[in-house]
Structure 1
Amino acid sequence: MCDSERSEVGLTQLRRSRAVRKRQITMLLKMLDESPESAMYHQTTSRMADGGFTLRSWVSNNAALQREFHNDRCGTDHGSSSEKVLGYQYYPATDTMCVSRMSPVSTEGTATKRKVLSQLAKVFDPLGLVTPALVSSKIFLRKLWLAKYAWDDPLNEEHCQEWQTISSNVQQLTNFSFQRKTIDSDKEVSLILFSDASQTSYGCAMYAVQQYDDHCNSNLIFSKNKIAPIKSKSVPTLELLAVFLAFKCLFSILESEKFKVSSVTFGIDAQIVLSWILTNKVKAKNVFARNRVKDISEFRVELEKKYGLDAKFRFIPTELNPADLVTRDVNIVEFQKKFQFWIHGPDFLSSTFVWPQRELGCLSPVNGALASNFALQGREDKSTLPTGSAVAADEAADEAEAEVPTAVERPERAAAVRCKERLRHCN
């Protein structure tokens, strides 16, 4: 075979390779089970070599593969115990990850809006693992915009002191370590999405729950936070936006990861928002809220049609809602105290299986029963949600129209880091 023919065959094989299909690659992360990992390494290396590409800097949390990489002289040679992966530092030896360290704030010169934004932009957390600790920085940036600083205007003394506190907290985020493995690929997953809002921000947190014989495992897989628009909005409107945001994140995760999802449940601590969603009706004269409820209804239909999943909506007390942490200023000390609650969710997800029950005065008896009585997969309650003909709640919110929220940044690449088996290869 001549060189040109060999090259053409190599390129054909390269196009067929799962590793490079529809992607331009500078770094590849692949999560594999035990059996095919070595074969995948040799096959990918061979096919890429046929196309004229040399794969290098392989690293794995599997000791046998690490030795093989070393013998083939294609492993990492920088001498560091960690690898940079999508804004995180990944430690193969422990299969853990943390956010990359932000350089210390320079004491030379005066702080400006440009310098503040430049420093905060260095913290890249696409999975939202440390979202609660970053809310204060987003709120601070909005303060600077409202104060009408030019890009290079020096900040006043009050804002300088606040910036020093925020930057100190952000630099300590590297002390928080997260297990990369969150899901067993051979078991079904129940996705639980909590949402919440305050006057300053709204957001959601998504947890993957897997049931075993005597317990459940619950792990945070994604969170998202947005600052409330400068134009004043009512809290119920922002709570509704949080549910809308949670749906957008849900579809992004489902599209990017092919794990087996058995159920999807939304935990909401605003009874009026539950009433809107469960009845498909908004009694207030609020066109925006009605449109968002319509969007959520369409999301539910799409979820059923595309994935065969029926979204359920349940009431969650505020003190048990982890999404509450992404709606307010949480300093590093409070984040440390609530770290386990944040990464695993409320205890009932991992132990009792049963959703907490509360009196729901704002909901009709039918909707109240559906929103408070719920057990995770494998238990007795598998009732369906009511249609728009259900009795509407008596309470309604007095709200002004809000602006349509911006689209959610797609977390496909980031979600691939944590949502499967132990990390085997990255180069």
Structure 2
Amino acid sequence: MLTSAGLPLKKWASNSSEVLAQVPQEDLALLPLHDLQDEQSISTLGLVWEPKSDKMRFKVQLPLPAPVVTKRKVMSYIAQIFDPLGLVGPTITVAKLFMQRLWALKTDAGDSYEWDRPLPPRLQGEWKEFHGTLDAISKIRIPRFVSQIKTETIQLHFFSDASEKAYGACCYVRSESAAGIRVQLLTSKSKVAPLATCQSIARLELCAAVLSVSLYEKVMKSLKTSCEVFFDDSPLLATIVPVALENHVPGESNPADLISRGVNPTDIVNLEFWWIGPQWLGVLPHHWPRTVLPAFDLSTMPESKSNVAVMSVTVAEPSFSARLFSRYSSFTKLRRSIAYWMRYFRSLRAAVQKTKPEPFDSLSTADPREGDLALCRVAQREMFSKELSKITRREPLPAWLKWLKPTMYKDGVIRVGPQLTLTTLRQKYWVIGGRDLVRRTYHQCHTCFRSKPRLIQQTVADLPSSRVSPTRPFSVCGVDYCGPVYIKSLIRNRAPTKAYIAIFVCFSTRAVHIELVSDLSSQPFWLPSAVSSPAEEE
């Protein structure tokens, strides 16, 4: 059907000579089957398939580790390990745990490590040691066909487990036929335990069970079997979920334990416990392990919720300003007390500096004013501490504050723009034309002008006469180039030709004319311009 539509299929490959017998040799991806060699392979779905042995293998071609290892380098190396089915899930767990350690790594100042900052020597040594063993993954050969030719029954067996660092689940295909029983790893999935919250083993075991069910749903979308069995080695999970009680297995018989703890690449190559599962899966079901678990009291289990009413009361220590204002019921008495204390402090400062102190008699009219400023400073430092530090360091302010144009004055008090000045003035006096007077005074203030100067607006120049004079289209136009673009040749296997696009824009009508030119020389330019010239059209 595709051939009749002009779409012939190429690159045929198979592990059977009968399938390729009717395919022309020029349409084969490899040589005929009797001429195949062991090293011949085909890349498919991110893996490498060897048709002669009908096995899959990984293609890991990592460069030598850099002399200085950084977070960016490590992430680049880990991303090159492509394992969509989780066939080397325990090794991927080791890489995930190392990646998690990099994300949690902090500098002496408490900041996260930058992407290109060299890692500590201890982590560099650990990564180089792990990097040197990743080539062993290329030695793994995985059978493509996980069942048997004449299968009588097929079962899916899911295992899940968790540790303090990670949790995961794996799936095995168990097929029975007249030739015997075969068990083969199908897929797996793993996740690392979160660092933000300290999770108990019981909660992580439940997360592993949920991950196992999620893995089952994904497998069932592709495979249709009549039986699926779940296994776990957690007595707590078997008590909470009664259906898991029959399928509890010891920890040493659970291959998912390898995912939760991680395995080095050199150890996983010949690890039969991972590739074919526990030995008892290869025998009849009545020989499978049956574990009798003791009864558990759910109220004493970790992560169990108790119905105990707890009331939390937080007593906050009052601040200095709160204690100060609470001592006085009258603001007039408060400001006079602050004025006396400020005069007393000035007297002490004069005694230390051995200068003449001011007479300690009745307050002047300026003393209560200084008390008001002192109370303003105390209130602003408590309520606007972050904004005060940003104003002092000339950093960007929040949106709700920057429009008020705050300014720090010499007396340490933050003052804002003319609106507040006008409001304060009208509390005692009504000045005729006060708005214009305050605005004029504010704009003439050098301190206020420096805090937010007015930028000069550049005037826009007039358009040239050619843009506004009525003329015929393309009598006056502008020209620009874009590209390069590559033109595919009609002849097969010939390299694409580089070309450019000339754009003509009419000054009068704003019309656009586009032409394709072969290069940037003058001769290809004059050819389209002469074709589109109005003189030639006449």
Same fold (TM over 0.5): yes
Q: Distance in 2 between matches of 1:331 and 1:103?
A: 16
Pair 1:145 & 2:111 matched: no
Pair 1:209 & 2:174 matched: yes
Counterpart of 2:10 in structure 1 is 56
Q: 1:324 aligns with which of 257, 267, 273?
A: 257
Q: Secondary structure at the match of 1:256?
A: coil
Q: Distance in 1 between matches of 2:153 and 2:304?
A: 40
Counterpart of 2:90 in structure 1 is 132
Pair 1:356 & 2:289 matched: yes
Q: Distance in 1 between matches of 2:3 and 2:299?
A: 68
Q: Distance in 1 between matches of 2:43 and 2:280?
A: 35
Asked if the contact 1:48–1:54 (Cα under 8 Å) also holds between the matched residues in 2, the reply is yes
Asked if the contact 2:162–2:204 (Cα under 8 Å) also holds between the matched residues in 1, the reply is yes
Per-residue CA deviations over 1:229-271 (Å, capped at 9, x if unaligned) read 112211111111111011111111111223xx22211111111
**Higher relative contact order by CA 8 Å / sep ≥ 6: 1 or 2?**
1
Per-residue CA deviations over 1:365-402 (Å, capped at 9, x if unaligned) read xxxxxxxxxxxxxxxxxxxxxxxxxxx756522379xx
Q: Distance in 2 between matches of 1:208 and 1:395?
A: 38
Asked if the contact 1:102–1:119 (Cα under 8 Å) also holds between the matched residues in 2, the reply is no
Per-residue CA deviations over 1:145-198 (Å, capped at 9, x if unaligned) read 000321111112111111112212222111111111102375331111000000
Pair 1:396 & 2:301 matched: yes
Asked if the contact 1:86–1:124 (Cα under 8 Å) also holds between the matched residues in 2, the reply is no
Amino acid at match of 1:342: W
Q: Distance in 2 between matches of 1:312 and 1:184?
A: 31
Counterpart of 1:234 in structure 2 is 200
Aligned ranges for residues 338-353 of structure 1 at < 5 Å? 339-353=271-285
Pair 1:155 & 2:119 matched: yes
Q: Secondary structure at the match of 1:159?
A: helix
Counterpart of 2:212 in structure 1 is 246
Q: Distance in 2 between matches of 1:399 and 1:89?
A: 48
User: Displacement, 1:51?
Assistant: 3.0
Amino acid at match of 2:117: D
Aligned ranges for residues 267-286 of structure 1 at < 5 Å? 267-278=231-242
Amino acid at match of 2:152: K
Query: Could you list the runs of 5+ residues in structure 1 that have no partner in the other structure?
Result: 1-46, 280-310, 364-391, 401-427
Amino acid at match of 1:272: L
Q: Secondary structure at the match of 1:81?
A: coil
Aligned-residue CA RMSD in angstroms?
A: 2.4
Q: Distance in 2 between matches of 1:173 and 1:58?
A: 27
Q: Distance in 2 between matches of 1:127 and 1:362?
A: 38
Amino acid at match of 1:52: G
Asked if the contact 1:102–1:171 (Cα under 8 Å) also holds between the matched residues in 2, the reply is yes
User: Displacement, 1:96?
Assistant: 0.7
Q: 1:123 aligns with which of 78, 81, 85?
A: 81
Q: Distance in 1 between matches of 2:191 and 2:167?
A: 6
Aligned-pair identity (%): 29
Pair 1:75 & 2:8 matched: no
Q: Distance in 2 between matches of 1:83 and 1:214?
A: 30
TM-score normalised to structure 2 length: 0.51
Pair 1:171 & 2:76 matched: no
Asked if the contact 2:298–2:304 (Cα under 8 Å) also holds between the matched residues in 1, the reply is no
Q: Secondary structure at the match of 1:199?
A: coil
User: Displacement, 1:312?
Assistant: 8.4
Amino acid at match of 1:129: L
Q: Secondary structure at the match of 1:222?
A: strand
Q: Secondary structure at the match of 1:219?
A: strand
Q: 1:184 aligns with which of 148, 167, 175?
A: 148
Q: Secondary structure at the match of 2:103?
A: helix
Aligned ranges for residues 94-133 of structure 1 at < 5 Å? 94-107=53-66, 109-133=67-91
Per-residue CA deviations over 1:29-57 (Å, capped at 9, x if unaligned) read xxxxxxxxxxxxxxxxxx11233323111
- In structure 2, the CA distance between the partners of 1:351 and 1:188, relative to structure 1 (3 Å rule), is closer
Counterpart of 1:199 in structure 2 is 164
Which of 317-326 and 270-279 deviates more? 270-279
Pair 1:87 & 2:46 matched: yes
User: Displacement, 1:140?
Assistant: 0.4
User: Displacement, 1:273?
Assistant: 1.0
Q: Secondary structure at the match of 2:2?
A: helix
Amino acid at match of 1:398: E
- In structure 2, the CA distance between the partners of 1:360 and 1:313, relative to structure 1 (3 Å rule), is closer
- In structure 2, the CA distance between the partners of 1:74 and 1:396, relative to structure 1 (3 Å rule), is same
Q: Secondary structure at the match of 2:76?
A: helix
- In structure 2, the CA distance between the partners of 1:395 and 1:274, relative to structure 1 (3 Å rule), is farther
Amino acid at match of 2:3: A
Per-residue CA deviations over 1:289-316 (Å, capped at 9, x if unaligned) read xxxxxxxxxxxxxxxxxxxxxx985101
Q: Distance in 1 between matches of 2:61 and 2:194?
A: 28
* Count of aligned positions: 290
Asked if the contact 1:200–1:327 (Cα under 8 Å) also holds between the matched residues in 2, the reply is yes
Query: Could you list the runs of 5+ residues in structure 2 that have no partner in the other structure?
Result: 106-111, 306-538
Q: Distance in 2 between matches of 1:180 and 1:362?
A: 44
Asked if the contact 2:148–2:182 (Cα under 8 Å) also holds between the matched residues in 1, the reply is no
Pair 1:221 & 2:175 matched: no
Q: Which has the larger radius of gyration?
A: 2
Counterpart of 2:247 in structure 1 is 314
User: Displacement, 1:129?
Assistant: 1.0
Amino acid at match of 1:56: K
Q: Distance in 2 between matches of 1:332 and 1:167?
A: 10
Asked if the contact 1:133–1:170 (Cα under 8 Å) also holds between the matched residues in 2, the reply is no
Per-residue CA deviations over 1:272-301 (Å, capped at 9, x if unaligned) read 11111128xxxxxxxxxxxxxxxxxxxxxx
Q: Distance in 2 between matches of 1:222 and 1:334?
A: 19
Amino acid at match of 1:151: W
Q: Distance in 1 between matches of 2:130 and 2:249?
A: 30
